[in-house]
Structures are given as C-alpha cells and as structure tokens.
A and B are shown apart, each in its own frame.
Chain A
Amino acid sequence: MLDSFNIKKEKTTFDVVIVGSGAGGGMAAYQLAKAGAKVCLLEAGGYFDPADPKYITQLKNPWESPRRGASTPLRSFGDFDAAWGGWSLPDEPYKAMEGTDFWWFRSRMLGGRTNHWGRISLRFGPDDFKRGSLTGIGDDWPIGYEDIAPYYDKVDRLVGLFGTKEGIRNEPDGIYLPPPKPRLHELMIKKAAKEVGVPVIPSRMAMLTKPINDSRGACFYCGQCNRGCQAYADFSSSSVLCIPAVQTGNVTLINNAMVKEVHTDPVTGKATGVSYVNKIDLKDYEINAKIVVLAASTCESARILLNSKSSRHQNGLANSSGVVGKYLNDSTGAGRGAFVPALMDRKRYNEDGVGGMHVYTPWWLDNSKLDFPRGYHIEYSGGMGMPGFGFGMGMQGVQQHFPGNKRLGGYGAGLKEDVRRMYGAFVHMDGRGEPIPLESNYCEIDPDKVDKYGIPTLRFHYKWSENEVKQAKHMQDTFEEIIHEMGGIAIGDKPGADTNYGLAKPGQIIHEIGTVRMGNDPSKSALNKWQQAHDVKNLFVVDAAPFVSQGDKNVTWTILASSWRTSDYIIDQVKTNKL
C-alpha cells in the first residue's frame, strides 16, 4: 500500500496527464486542451517564457557574461543558450557501459530542448517510412507518408517555416514562408557544390520571415534562435504551444514535477495516472487521469515505462514485447571547417540573418550505388558572426593559411591586424545522417543507481556499426571536395579511420529516437500505429521514442505532426467511447 502520509493526491481526475512539455507534449497539450479536455501538463524543470525579461539572453552582448558566453556545467551550450542543463545534470546521473558510449542532453524547463534547437524543419519523405522493405536492412514504419502528410501541412500552418518548393521526391515540399537570401559564404558554397554535383537549396527552418498571426512577431534577424525569441518569431514549444495551451484555461501546468512511474489498475491493467517527485519540496504526488500521454523525451519516456513495474507488468509498462529501451538511435554527425582566403579583408555589414543556415544540401545520391545504406544532409555555417568565448584562439593555425610568408603566432599591432583580416573568412560543414537502428543499442534501468529523487537511473549500451562509419567517411570526402572547389583550405588533418572519420559519439547530435517503437506486431513493438501502447490502450507516447527510424531529417517536425495525429486519434476515441 502507498504511504498516505507521504503521498499527496490531487483530488481532480484529469482527462489527460501529459508528461513533458517539449515538441510532443506541447503539441498534445495544445490540441487536447483546445478540444476541451482537462489536461495536467507535468514538466520536470522550471517555468520558461522567452518573452519574459527575467529569462532573456537574446541581444545581450558577450561582455554581459563574465565568461563571454562559454559553457558551464549548468549550461552546456554556453551562458547565452536557452537550454538549461545539458550533458550532465548533477542530481540526475546516467552512465554508458564500458566499451560503449552515449551522451544524453537534457533540458529541464518548459519547452524542453525546443528552446534552443536548430529549427531545421524537414518532413520525412515517402521512402523514409519504408527503408526496411526498400533496402532489406532496418524496419518499416506501421504508417506511410500519406498518413502523416496532412499533419505536416497542419504543423506548417500553425507553427510556420520558410523554404522553397523543390519537387524532390523524398524531400516533400511544405507550405512555406519566403526564405532569407543566402549570405556571401553560402553563395560561394552553393556555386562550388554545384560544380562538384552536390545540390544546395534554401533551408527549411521554423522562423517567421513574415508574421502569421497576431500573437507572434516576425523574425528580426539577430541570428540567435538558440537563445529563445522574445518576439516568438521562431518555434519553441514554450512560446508556441505550452503558453497558448495554458491560456485556453484547460491546462494545469505543474513545473518541477519529476515523474517516477505510471500507475495502472491491477484488475483492468489500464493506466490510472502518474506519480512524481516535486523537485522543490522533494515530496511525492499523484495525478489521476483517464489517459496518460508520455512525452518526456526518447530516453526519459523509456525510463518511466521501465520503472513502472507491477505484478501485471513485470518488465515495466507497455513492455510485454521486451522492446522498450531498445533500438535507441541518434543521427550520425561529422563536420569539417575551412578557411577561405577569398573572404579575407571583407567589407563589414550585418549578416547575422536567421539563427542558422540559409541554405543546405538534402541527400542527393543513390545508396544502392554506395557502400553504406543510408543518406545524410549537409548543414552550413560561417561568416561574420558575433565574437564570443573562443574567438581569436589558435591564431597560429589560421595565419599559416594567409597568403605570403607569414610568421605564425606573434603579438602586437600586427597580430590585431591579422585578426581583422581573418574575421568572417571561415565556413563549416556538418553532415547529419540516418543510422541503422539496432536492437543491440539500448538503454536499461541501472540496477545499482538512483537519482536524487530516488528514481532508478538509465545506463546505456551504444556502438556505431560499419554503416555509420562508412557514411561519415563519405561526408568527409564530400566536405573536402566542396572546400577545394571554393578555394578554401580545410582546417586540421582530415579525420581518418582512427577517429571513425570524425563521427560524433552516439547522443551528441541530440536527435535520439526509437526506444518505444511502434509497429503492427505487438511481439516486436510497444506501440501501435497511433502511438498507443499495445498492452495499455489508454497510454500513449508522443515524443520521438515511438519512431522506427529517423531518416536523415531532424525529427522535430515529425514529432509535432505525429503528436498532433495521435491527439486527434485520442479525441476521436474519446468521442466514440473507445478508451
């Protein structure tokens, strides 16, 4: 029996309790609240509103941070980044098993990691749902592009993004605002890439280059979307979904609520609600609800399910298949920078633009003619950005590429002149590719460890396969081709086999998915095609945990579309008394 002295129960029974306020939870809260459901939205971190001055770092100058925007253990991406937390949270440990690696980025705050994400908003293409049957490796989704396409359209209209209609079959077009014009280095990249057969098209990102409604402003081109936008001119779940959801009057938002487990009725097996630890008073609380929706992030949702053990659900909840935690997969990532002498001694002007690239390269090759099975896209950066911590470091490495016979290092007025000359003369390329999800890459409950709240923690087992390593090698070859064609000088040695060709460690790209996968076969999947648990029909997962694969498309747009689709399904099921 639960100890009634230590557990505080809310008297209300909510229609729905949603765990997590990122892209998936925010969308579900917004859609369900608008439909009239009484929603309890639980967020493990504090409140955050990008427009509230007490949170604003946008348009601040580097000298307003004593470390000039460098990272700290409390904010991995630096003082000005909107994401609280990062690779390690002091009170919430995890580990990777020996010989394996996983980096887990967590942001405990309203809106979660959407507050600082790259806003790259790509639809999966028709092939991305059918990789298993198309290639014989990996698995198909239980749904196809046609199932989710109407929801991509709805997300485009509600949230807004820019881009261009290109008619590329596996890069479906959306409903776009006008794209920003490329910066100078982006024009140079486009020209060079074209010469070597690599397409470069306008990027597709969730910033409002035109206003779309009265509650959000238009982009003012500060280039700082990762800091959160006080004009709400980009997408974050806090500003675009959670705050409007609360404004419906149907949402009870509870911050600092660290969910421990989902409760079930021992007789019916149905979910009855969740319990959480309040991070401020460290007391336990229970929320009762008719429907439970998990959106705590790929790994956290798996953790909650695995920790929700009962006599009826001994492997954890929704896990009669044993698949929960497995098939964890992150995007591949590899990058290379270059110094571009033609960009030395540039005329100065403001080219901050939107927060990120104005052009990118979608996957352009046929994997059946290559030695690796999946594609990647290329993201570009560079130009006359705002100096921050790290600016000017390693000048001797830059000076060696100056024309003429230059002494490296040095000091004095000549050194200052060298800094002025090299400013804005760099570009960077990053490949982001599709991995093969493997059953052998997984997270599980650590038998020996709990966090500060007494909740058993996760441990990870993750190794890249040859498929991802070969893809990274191809990325590096492509980067060099483009760099050479534009007259640039690639920086440092070309990453080789000893470093897996610069392949980022699993988790570092922060695109992890797959731990609560959906499928038609309940013995091989945890959720059905509606992201509804096979074992518990009033339990849903709406973050990226249900995704069978991730394409080479950053998954946020698909989380939004998929969560909306599931929300509509929930509304329909409730209306027809099927839940």
Chain B
Amino acid sequence: MKRRESLKALSLGSLGMAVLPATAAVAAPEVDKGKFTPGPGRTDAEIERDKKIHEQDFMTPHEMATIAVLSDIIVPADEKSGSATDAGVPDFIEFIAKDMPHYQLPIRGGIKWLDNYSRKLNGKNFKDTSAANQIVIVDTIAYPEEAAPEVSQGVAFFSMVRDLTLTGFYTTQIGFEDVEYKGNVPNMWDGVPQDVLDKYGFKYDPLYFENND
C-alpha cells in the first residue's frame, strides 16, 4: 500500500469503526521527498536554498504519521472534497518546518506532548490509540475557549496544526475546488454579476458606461 493510501485507510477507519489498533493496519510511512524541481521564476540563490531545504529531513516517520492523523481529523474528506492527506498536507507541513525553523520545536515538542497525554489516558501514543480515543483527545484541545487550563499547551499545538493544515489544504487544486476559487485565469472583468448586484441592491455609476476615449 502506498503511503497516501495507507494514511487514507487509517483516517477513514478513524471515523468509522474504532476497533483495530491503527498500528496493525499501517506500516510506518517513509518520508517521500521526491525529485527536486525548482519553482517558477526562481533566482539562482533561491534554487540553491530550496534544493538544500529539499535535501534535509526533519520529521521522523512517527511524527509524519501523527501529523497525517491529525491533519485528516482537521480536514477529513466530505461530500464536497477530499482530505488533508489527499491534498498532501503532511508533506507541506514537513517542508514548512524545514523552511521556517521556528516551527520545528513547537511541532516536535507538540507531538511529544500529545503522545505523553495520550499514554496517560490509555497507554498508547496518539497515532496508535483507537480512533475513538483520538477524538476524545482532540475534543479536549480543539476548542481554545472551552479547554481546561491544564491542556493549554496541547491547545496551542492543535491550533498551530489546524492553521498549517488549512493553509496546506486550501492552497492546492483540491482546496481551490473546495472553496470554489474561480480566478487566476485571463479574463475580461466587467463588474459584479447582475444577480449579485440585485441581491445586494447595487447598481453601477453611469461613469462606468461612458466611453473615455
């Protein structure tokens, strides 16, 4: 099973029957960096910098798997679009941690916090506990205003992963389709569609219909 598929199986399982221990179904994923290709319009210095970042490793397979579970809890597949792992979010988060090193300690330490918390509750690391247990833990740290003071570090970590997951998801083709972004194509802007103008009670000033030649 390829890594993405296995992670998907894991996350779909997470939402359904919470019976099998996740470890039994999933091999520890390898960090798959793929081949380095420079982005568009890069300067030589940028290519060199990005290549170096690409060649580094940051997250361990355990950390990648944990981020994959978390990101799919945050952005699961639904009737409109796919999940965070469908959109490659764990690889994105791994890149960002290398590109913006201030994320490294909070991610690494946050995962440790999560595993410690999970082991206290049920004796297993977060990713290895049942999906039902994972949701119990997430519920305690996913709502900043309601969370107990003793889990505040977990709340901060979860909020950070939520931020990175949403950004990582919505900046992909899957995310564009989910939010129905219609732009980034050559077009002729001729104003707000008439039905929208009508709905909001606007009409254009006559100056926009004058010939300025």
Whether B143 lies near A416 (C-beta < 8 A) is no
Whether B187 lies near A221 (C-beta < 8 A) is yes
Interface bits B187-213 vs A (CB < 8 Å: 1, else 0): 111111101110110101001101110
How many whole Å from A148's CB to the nearest CB in chain B?
Answer: 23
Interface: A168 (CB within 8 A): no
Whether B43 lies near A409 (C-beta < 8 A) is no
- Expressed in whole angstroms, the Cα–Cα distance for A180 and B50 within the complex equals 38
Stretch at the interface among B21-29, B119-127, B168-176: B168-176
- Expressed in whole angstroms, the Cα–Cα distance for A325 and B136 within the complex equals 63
How many whole Å from B116's CB to the nearest CB in chain A?
Answer: 21
- Expressed in whole angstroms, the Cα–Cα distance for A179 and B40 within the complex equals 31
Given A64-B40, A181-B191, A408-B145: A393 touches B182 (CB 8 Å cut-off): no
Number of interface residues of A (CB under 8 A): 77
Interface: A137 (CB within 8 A): no
Number of interface residues of B (CB under 8 A): 70
How many whole Å from B10's CB to the nearest CB in chain A?
Answer: 16
- Expressed in whole angstroms, the Cα–Cα distance for A409 and B154 within the complex equals 13
Interface: B92 (CB within 8 A): yes
Whether A183 lies near B143 (C-beta < 8 A) is no
How many whole Å from B27's CB to the nearest CB in chain A?
Answer: 26
Interface bits A271-284 vs B (CB < 8 Å: 1, else 0): 00000000000000
- Expressed in whole angstroms, the Cα–Cα distance for A62 and B92 within the complex equals 12
Given A55-B41, A351-B192: A384 touches B186 (CB 8 Å cut-off): no
Whether A187 lies near B192 (C-beta < 8 A) is yes
Instruction: Give chain A residues whose Cβ lies under 8 Å from the Cβ of B175.
Output: 387
- Expressed in whole angstroms, the Cα–Cα distance for A223 and B185 within the complex equals 10
With beta carbons under 8 angstroms apart, the residue of A65, A181, A386 that contacts B181 is: A386
Interface: B46 (CB within 8 A): yes
Given A351-B183, A419-B179: A387 touches B189 (CB 8 Å cut-off): no
Interface bits B152-171 vs A (CB < 8 Å: 1, else 0): 00000011001100111111
- Nearest residue, chain B, Cβ from A354: B189
Chain B 36-70 residues near chain A, CB threshold 8 A: 39-41, 43, 45-46, 49-50, 53-54
Whether B39 lies near A410 (C-beta < 8 A) is no
Given A202-B207, A221-B186: A56 touches B179 (CB 8 Å cut-off): no
- Nearest residue, chain B, Cβ from A218: B188
How many whole Å from B46's CB to the nearest CB in chain A?
Answer: 5
Interface bits A211-234 vs B (CB < 8 Å: 1, else 0): 000000000111110000000000
With beta carbons under 8 angstroms apart, the residue of A74, A181, A411 that contacts B192 is: A181
Whether A187 lies near B200 (C-beta < 8 A) is yes
- Expressed in whole angstroms, the Cα–Cα distance for A176 and B210 within the complex equals 12
Interface: A68 (CB within 8 A): yes
- Expressed in whole angstroms, the Cα–Cα distance for A353 and B50 within the complex equals 32
Chain A 162-195 residues near chain B, CB threshold 8 A: 164, 176-184, 187-188, 191
Q: Give the top 4 A-B pairs by smallest Cβ distance, nearest first.
A: A392-B166, A181-B191, A220-B186, A62-B171
- A residues contacting B by CB (< 8 A) are 46, 54-57, 59-70, 72, 74-75, 79-80, 84, 164, 176-184, 187-188, 191, 202, 220-224, 342, 346-354, 384-396, 407-413, 415-416, 419-420, 423
- B residues contacting A by CB (< 8 A) are 39-41, 43, 45-46, 49-50, 53-54, 73-76, 78, 80-81, 92, 95-96, 99-100, 138, 142-146, 158-159, 162-163, 166-173, 175-176, 178-193, 195-197, 199-200, 202, 204, 207-208, 210-212
Between A and B, 26 residue pairs with Cβ closer than 8 Å are: A54-B41, A56-B40, A59-B184, A67-B100, A68-B167, A68-B168, A70-B99, A164-B207, A178-B210, A221-B189, A350-B183, A350-B187, A352-B183, A352-B189, A384-B181, A384-B182, A387-B181, A392-B163, A392-B169, A393-B167, A395-B163, A396-B144, A407-B143, A412-B76, A419-B170, A420-B179
Apart from A191-B202, A415-B74, list 20 A-B contacts with CB within 8 A. A59-B186, A63-B173, A66-B39, A66-B92, A179-B207, A181-B192, A182-B191, A221-B187, A222-B184, A223-B183, A224-B184, A348-B182, A349-B192, A388-B171, A407-B145, A409-B145, A413-B76, A416-B78, A419-B178, A420-B178
